[in-house]
Amino acid sequence: MSQLGSLLQQATSLSKSAGKVATKAATRLNLPLQGAQLKATETSHQPLDVNNPFTKILKTVQRLPDSTQSFVLTKVFSKIVPYVGTTGIVYETVTPNKLVVSLNNKKGVQNHIGTVHAVAVTLLAETATGFILGVNLPSDRVLLVKSYEVNFYRPIKTGQIAAIATLSDEQRQYILDNAKGEMVIPCVIEDRQSDSERAPITVEMTWAWIPKSELKQRREGKDNSNSTTK
């Protein structure tokens, strides 16, 4: 299972206290909670009613000052999936319609020529696309990465890169209306230190989702099959 699939499963276990996770992080950092939500430009595309552990965390974090939201989200999600914290992925923007994550070029994620490793770029794209799907997925379903294609057109510069995933309201409605399905999540890789108009990498991530009950049945069926053959 992908890192984001693992994230969704772990976050689901926090369903009754998901908001407390972000609140606790903010309290430890002495950040005041505000009554105000995100700016209208960021919330104008959020009419669909989706309730899951991620949206609960987001609702709490949105009460923090704008300048601290990215920092707290990164801290919270790094606790849920330690690997995210290890690689240094930063959650810059998290909304149901747009998600931006970035990664600085540092020694731990470099390849042999000093740029961000191809696997790290792929992880960044998986994080952006899988997480935006997770934000829009009802809590009775689980997401799974089905396939992906990554094409490299030019070397990445030695600076920061970002992955930007987006979903239209129509795509979000489709996810909400279908208990089982799949979708190619649009994702753009941004080379922030380059002046080139050509994208260094194109990524096509196909994600699927199924009811948790179906995943449970599949696992139980496999377990029963294994026990029968022994």
Segment 32-84, tens digit of pLDDT:
444 333 333 344 455 577 888 888 888 888 888 888 889 999 988 888 777 77
Q: What is the pLDDT of residues 154-207, one digit of tens each?
A: 888 778 999 999 999 999 999 999 999 999 998 999 998 888 888 888 899 999
Specify whether the CB–CB gap between 153 and 25 falls below 8 A: no
Report the CATH number that the domain containing residue 14 is assigned in CATH: 3.10.129.10
User: Which tops the pLDDT comparison, 105 or 45?
Assistant: 105
How high is the pLDDT of residue 103?
93
How high is the pLDDT of residue 172?
95
The domain tally of the chain equals 1
Query: How far apart are alpha carbons 139 and 142 in whole angstroms?
Result: 8
Taking the alpha carbons at both ends of the chain, their separation in whole angstroms is 26
* Residue % of the chain over a pLDDT of 90: 38
**pLDDT above 50 (res 4):** no
Q: Which two tokens stand for residue 131?
A: 């997480």
Per the structure, the complete domain to which residue 72 belongs is given by: 3-229
**DSSP one-letter string for 79-116:** HHSHHHHHHT-EEEEE-SSEEEEEE---GGGB-TTSSB
Q: Residue 141: enclosing H or E segment and its boundaries?
A: strand 141-152
